[in-house]
Amino acid sequence: MSVEAALELLSEQAATLSMSFSDEEITEFETYLKALAAYNENVNLVADASPELVVKRHVLDCLAVVEVLIRLTAETDGGSVRDPEAQRRTLIDVGSGAGLPGLIIAIACPGLDVVLLDSIGKKTKFLQQAAKQIGLEKRVSVITGRAEELARSPKRSSFDFATSRAVGHLGLVSELTLPLLKNRGRLLCQKSRKQVDLEVKELMPVLEELGGSKPEIIVPKLQTGENEHVIVSIEKRKGTRQIYPRTWAEIIRHWKG
């Protein structure tokens, strides 16, 4: 499938979520798809970077998070992350990799200032290049680093939203991201349905100390792939205890048993 056909598929499926993209936004998605395909020839960011599969497997999945962001901001103050003139909000995408979902969210949500965080330099190099090519460098910043270290910096408690896709156990993601959120901020973590029930159960004993609310499981209308995907939404209700996040070795030991 050509890039043009992939973009047509994107527009058609976005319409099922009551989203329509401007010509400028479609061009930004096109630039992203081409940048990913070119970079993936030398650095393996995704298994298959052909435009059709990237849209089907990844971009549409990311739009489900955009749909939730639109709903949350509308419920909070009637604003919209789709409106570049609305109140500015901040989002950090932890373990951003190929910019999924972070760069897709940045394209679809002009009302957000987005930080893309990854510990691997080859990935952040792509993110920096792609953000510049798309023209997002004024509201997208890229950090090569680790979330557990960033949460010990002035960035602690500074974000309205945090996202994570295919990073690891829900408990691990919660420990890394909740310290970065403001009170009333929201973690949106994309998970496979078959994983989520056990991981929520294992998270609950420490969720109070992390400052998080009881997880809400959102089943997106738009499903891609063979396995059902969900979005786990956790609101930060109070400050995270200062002992969190722990060191990476301690986090891995705890959440991998």
Indicate the domain borders of the chain. 3-255
- The 10s digit of each residue's pLDDT in 200-231 is 999 999 999 999 999 999 999 888 767 789 99
- The 10s digit of each residue's pLDDT in 149-166 is 999 999 999 999 999 998
Q: What b/e sequence results for 65-99 when a residue is b if at least 16 CB atoms lie within 10 Å of its CB, and e otherwise?
A: bbbbbbebbeeeeebbbbeeebeebbbbbbbbbbb
Burial class (CB in 10 A: 0-12, 13-18, 19+), 37: middle
Mean pLDDT over 99-107 rounds to: 99
- The 10s digit of each residue's pLDDT in 173-196 is 999 999 999 999 999 999 999 989
Mean pLDDT over 31-58 rounds to: 97
Q: What is the pLDDT of residue 159?
A: 99
Q: What is the pLDDT of residue 78?
A: 86
Q: What is the pLDDT of residue 13?
A: 95
**Share of residues in the chain with pLDDT > 70 (%):** 99
User: Architecture of 3-255 per CATH?
Assistant: 3-Layer(aba) Sandwich (3.40)
Is 257 a residue whose pLDDT tops 90?
A: no
Burial class (CB in 10 A: 0-12, 13-18, 19+), 144: middle
Q: What is the pLDDT of residue 227?
A: 78
What is the distance, to the nearest Å, from the Cα of residue 51 to the centroid of all Cα atoms in its chain?
A: 20
Mean pLDDT over 67-88 rounds to: 92
Q: What is the pLDDT of residue 1?
A: 63
